[in-house]
Amino acid sequence: DAKTTQPPSMDCAEGRAANLPCNHSTISGNEYVYWYRQIHSQGPQYIIHGLKNNETNEMASLIITEDRKSSTLILPHATLRDTAVYYCIVIIYNFNKFYFGSGTKLNVKP
Amino acid sequence: GAVVSQHPSWVICKSGTSVKIECRSLDFQATTMFWYRQFPKQSLMLMATSNEGSKATYEQGVEKDKFLINHASLTLSTLTVTSAHPEDSSFYICSALTDRDLETQYFGPGTRLLVL
């Protein structure tokens, strides 16, 4: 699986957009980008995933660069409840196994 | 939809005893479930993949005789920590693949194990 690189922590003001970057420069053509988050002492929560097109759902938007070497998760209007560790994971389609990196601790501040 | 539960949510046991943790898919059938372990301030570490009706496959470095996994039905997988020791104290989390989406894993709330 492709290795991912994320900043260890980020701050964001409540109500503003949170943009979380992820580098996956060794990604191959059949690998998807998945984003999960883990609120303290809970199981990870699925946010969004994509292959090469930008994706949007009720939680977030995922922007994948044209060369697919990096992506950005966007939370359009961050709230205090969005404070969590956000994980970017790259997996081969139909391989299923997730290997978590260290993620980004997002601190949403009032 | 895609709700995964775990039981118990936390457990304290004496060293040398065995502890069983259940993982259930509540509104879907899960042919594949996964077990993870997470130590404080660390990321999740994949322990094993559990397939219904067949033996689990373990990640390198995970003792299969120490962590027994049974996936007897399409909605239930169990992890038994045998002869638990204080170093087994951790947060154990399961996840499942739904029959509607074979790529996205849905996670349980986790089980916190403390071995005294």
Chain B hits for A34, CB-CB cut-off 8 Å, are: 104
Interchain contact, B49 vs A96, CB within 8 Å: yes
Chain B residues whose CB is inside 8 A of the A94 CB are: 102-103
B72 pLDDT tier (thresholds 50, 70, 90): confident
Residue range B12-62, pLDDT digits in tens: 999 999 999 999 999 888 889 999 999 999 999 999 999 888 889 999 999
Low-confidence residues in chain A, pLDDT < 50: none
- The reported pLDDT for the residue numbered B7 is 97
Q: What torsion do the CA atoms of B98, A43, B46, B40 make, to the nearest 10 degrees?
A: 180
Confidence of residue B94 (pLDDT cuts 50, 70, 90): very high
At residue B105, what are phi and psi to the nearest 5 degrees?
Answer: -90, 135
CB-based contact A45 B44, cutoff 8 Å: no
**Strand (E) positions, A1-110?**
9-13, 18-23, 31-38, 45-50, 55-56, 61-64, 70-75, 84-92, 104-109
Give yes or no for a contact between B112 and B11, defined as CB atoms under 8 angstroms apart: yes
Instruction: Provide residues of B within 8 Å CB-CB of chain A.
Output: 4, 6, 32, 34, 36, 43-46, 49, 91, 93, 95, 97, 102-110, 112
pLDDT at A1: 58
Tell if the CB–CB gap between B108 and A43 is shorter than 8 Å: yes
DSSP sequence for A17-28: -EEEEEE-TT--
Q: Which pLDDT band holds residue B2 (cuts at 50, 70, 90)?
A: confident
Residues of chain B with pLDDT > 90: what percent?
A: 76
pLDDT tens across A25-49, in order?
999 888 899 999 999 889 999 999 9
Which pLDDT score, from 0 to 100, does residue B101 have?
72
The pLDDT of residue A43: 95
Residues B59, B99, A39, A18, Cα dihedral to 10°: 110
Residues of B within 8 A of A44 (CB-CB) are 44, 93, 95, 107
Yes or no: say if B24 and B76 are a contact pair by the CB < 8 Å rule. yes
At A64 the pLDDT is 96
